[in-house]
Amino acid sequence: MPQKAKEMKNIKTDEISNQETPSIKFLLAEYDRINGLRSELNQGDARRFEFYLTITSAILGAFLVLSQTSIAIPQNLFNAIAFCLLTYGLITFINSTYSSSFNFQILFAIKDIQKYFTELDKDIESYLYFNYPQPQLTKYRLLRFLERGLRGGSEKLVMGLINSGLLVYLSISVPQTYFKLGLSQNSIIAVAATIFLLSIVFHVVFVREMYRYAQQRH
pTM: 0.73
d(CA 86, CA 111): 37
pLDDT of residue 218: 62
d(CA 159, CA 95): 12
Residue 202 φ/ψ, nearest 5 degrees:
-60, -45
pLDDT at residue number 6: 45
Cβ neighbors of 85 (< 8 A, separation 6 or more) are 55, 56, 59, 60, 162, 166
| pLDDT at site 145 | 54
pLDDT beneath 70: ranges in the chain: 1-20, 129-153, 217-218
Alpha carbons 156 and 49: distance in angstroms, whole number = 9
Q: How far is CA 157 from CA 170, 194, 214, in A?
A: 20, 18, 20
Separation between Cα atoms, residue 193 and residue 182, nearest integer Å: 18
Closest among 72, 88, 71 to 80, alpha carbons compared? 88
Model pLDDT, residue 101: 84
Give the list of residues 6+ apart from residue 121 with CB closer than 8 angstroms, or none. 12, 13, 16
